[in-house]
Amino acid sequence: MQTLIVINDPPYGTERLYNGLRLAHALLKREGEVTVFLMGDAVSGAKRGQHTPDGFYNAERMVKRVATKGRVLLCGTCMEARGIADDEIVPGSERSTMDALAEATEQADKVLIF
């Protein structure tokens, strides 16, 4: 089964990115195919070099964990608007487009929005 998870919220301040990535990881453990598309402020979750307080989740590590078994795509326009360059994102994640999101949506059996 192919699942597409689209996340819009920032990595910190709400828990939507956190919960979307947790779900993606759980689905990947079940042998499913998962694509996560980060757009809007969620692209900041894939920025390398995040330092969070002890005991607090780290979006960078969560994105990395999902990218090792699934796909993590980032809206290129959203990255540009936030000044995030390709060499600043988590290895395994990739700059993407709305056309790629449209294709992933067509191919998915389930689409979840966070």
Fill in the amino acid letter for 30. Answer: R
Q: In whole angstroms, give the CA distance from residue 31 to residue 37.
A: 19
Q: How far apart are CA 6 and CA 17, in angstroms?
A: 9
Alpha helices in the chain (DSSP H): 16-29, 59-69, 76-81, 98-107
Percent of the chain that is helix, strand, coil (3-state, to 5): 45, 25, 30
- The pLDDT of residue 105 is 98
Mean pLDDT of 71-93: 97
Least confident of 8-12, 31-35, 95-99: 31-35
pLDDT score recorded for residue 60: 97
> Looking at the predicted structure, is the pLDDT value of residue 31 above 90?
no
What pLDDT is recorded for position 32? 85
Mean pLDDT of 80-94: 97
* Rg of the chain, C-alpha, whole Å: 13
Q: Domain 2-113: which topology?
A: Hypothetical Protein Ychn; Chain: A, (3.40.1260)
Domain residue limits, the chain:
2-113
pLDDT at 66 over 90: yes
